[in-house]
């Protein structure tokens, strides 16, 4: 089956015409696959407009190892580059494969499957993050901890967020005493909070669960510069010297209007 640009939802008659080419309609990836939709159903085409994936999916998401995550009738799974199903479309939500495992959601619970669609960590958690270097953060009864691939607890469930970032560290989140009165406004900014609208701040744990850096960052700590963790404090980026002392990035300047809004919301110091 071959399509012409005027047949897909991305074609806008106010912008496009009969001379419009496919690169003006969609972006082609390294596999020369372009995402298009027709009647709000998605598929993939090649640069000649030939259909590679039938236009039957609610979503198509590029995944690792030349795969695509796909959604159909509200269920998630994976297909290969020839649209062969490799993970059946039977989950309520999926992440992607990291360290050979994929986080999946089913009946409001999370667990992990391997590439053969075998459940290797029971689907019993309230939330989870992706595996990294053999560890992952998981949530149970409102608190986060960390497990290994044998589903053994390596960090107790004492925190409000947990993410394995490699290099021997976890970034953990801790609920603050700052309650956001206007979460609808704060949602426009990259902040994190609990279900009852208290801010979460982030720090670092080592592999033994010892606090290396207290929870001072407004965003999860996932990067280092010259051995120093990158953090954001009072909406300004910098690093923590010796994991404690904030050094602001000299070239970074926050927008004054944003700072004014955030001060009024009470999430940064005045």
Write the secondary structure of the chain as one string of H (helix), E (strand) and C (coil): CECCHHHCCCCCCCCCCCCCCHHHCCCECCCCCEEEEECCEEEEECCCCEEEEEEEECEEEEECCCEEEEEECCEEEEEECCCCEEEEEEECEEEEEECCEEEEEECCEEEEECCCCCEEEEEEECEECCCECCEEEEEECCEEEEEECCCCEEEEEEECEEEEEECCEEEEEEEEEEECCCHHHHCCCCCCECCCCEEEEEEEEECCCCEEEEEEECCCCCCEECCEEEEEECCEEEEEECCCEEEECCCCCCCHHHHHHHHHHCCCCC
Distances (CA, A) of 34 to 8, 11, 54, 60: 12, 14, 12, 11
pLDDT exceeds cutoff 80 at 251:
no
Residue 156 has pLDDT above 70, yes or no: yes
Share of the chain above pLDDT 90, in %: 81
Q: What is residue 152's predicted lDDT score, i.e. its pLDDT?
A: 98
Q: Which whole number is the average pLDDT over 227-241?
A: 93
- Kindly report the pTM of this predicted structure: 0.88
Span between the terminal Cα atoms of the chain, in Å: 61
Burial of 229 (0-12, 13-18, 19+ CB in 10 A): buried
Question: In the structure encoding, which two tokens stand for residue 178, read together?
Answer: 């700052």
| Section 3-19 average pLDDT | 94
pLDDT at 159 over 70: yes
pLDDT, position 269: 73
Question: Which of 74-88, 105-119, 133-147, 226-240 has the weakest average pLDDT?
Answer: 226-240
Name, in order, each residue with C-beta under 8 angstroms of 224's C-beta and a sequence gap of 6 or more: 167, 230
pLDDT score at 268:
82
Which strand ranges, in their side-by-side order, compose the sheet holding 228-233? 224-225, 228-233, 236-241, 245-248
DSSP lists the bridge partners of residue 236 as 233
pLDDT for residue 137: 98
Provide the mean pLDDT of the chain: 94
Using alpha carbons, list the distances in angstroms from residue 102 to 39, 61, 119, 149: 31, 14, 10, 12
Vertex 123, ends 141 and 197: CA angle to 5°? 35
| Amino acid 270: pLDDT | 59
**Residue 66 confidence (pLDDT) above 70:** yes
Q: What percent of the chain has pLDDT over 70?
A: 99
129, pLDDT greater than 90:
yes
Tracing tokens 């290797």 back to the chain, one arrives at 120
- Please say if the pLDDT value at position 103 is more than 90: yes
Residue 252 has pLDDT above 80, yes or no: no
Nearest to 172 by CA among 180, 186, 160: 160
The residues with which 146 forms a beta bridge, in sequence order, are 137, 155
């Amino acid at each position: 089956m071959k399509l012409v640009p005027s047949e897909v939802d991305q074609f806008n008659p106010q912008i496009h015409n009969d001379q419009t080419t496919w690169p003006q309609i969609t972006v082609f990836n390294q596999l020369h696959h372009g995402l298009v939709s027709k009647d709000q159903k998605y598929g993939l085409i090649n640069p000649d407009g030939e259909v590679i994936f039938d236009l039957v999916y609610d979503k198509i998401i590029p995944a690792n190892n030349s795969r695509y995550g796909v959604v159909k009738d509200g269920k998630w799974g994976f297909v290969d580059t020839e649209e062969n199903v490799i993970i059946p479309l039977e989950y309520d939500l999926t992440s992607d494969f990291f360290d050979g495992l994929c986080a999946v959601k089913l009946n409001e619970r999370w667990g992990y499957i391997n590439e053969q669609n075998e459940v290797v960590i029971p689907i019993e958690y309230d939330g989870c993050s992706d595996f990294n270097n053999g560890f992952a953060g998981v949530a149970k009864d409102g608190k986060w901890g960390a497990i290994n691939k044998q589903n053994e607890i390596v960090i107790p469930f004492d925190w409000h967020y947990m993410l394995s970032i490699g290099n021997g560290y976890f970034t953990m989140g801790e609920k603050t005493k700052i309650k956001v009165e206007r979460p609808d406004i704060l949602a426009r900014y990259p902040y994190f909070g609990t279900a009852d609208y208290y801010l979460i701040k982030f720090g670092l744990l080592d592999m033994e669960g010892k606090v290396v850096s207290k929870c001072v960052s407004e965003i999860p700590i996932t990067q280092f510069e010259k051995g120093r963790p990158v953090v954001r404090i009072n909406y300004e980026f910098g690093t923590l010297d010796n994991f404690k002392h904030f050094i602001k990035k000299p070239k970074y300047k926050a927008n004054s209007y944003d700072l004014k809004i955030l001060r009024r919301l009470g999430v940064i110091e005045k």
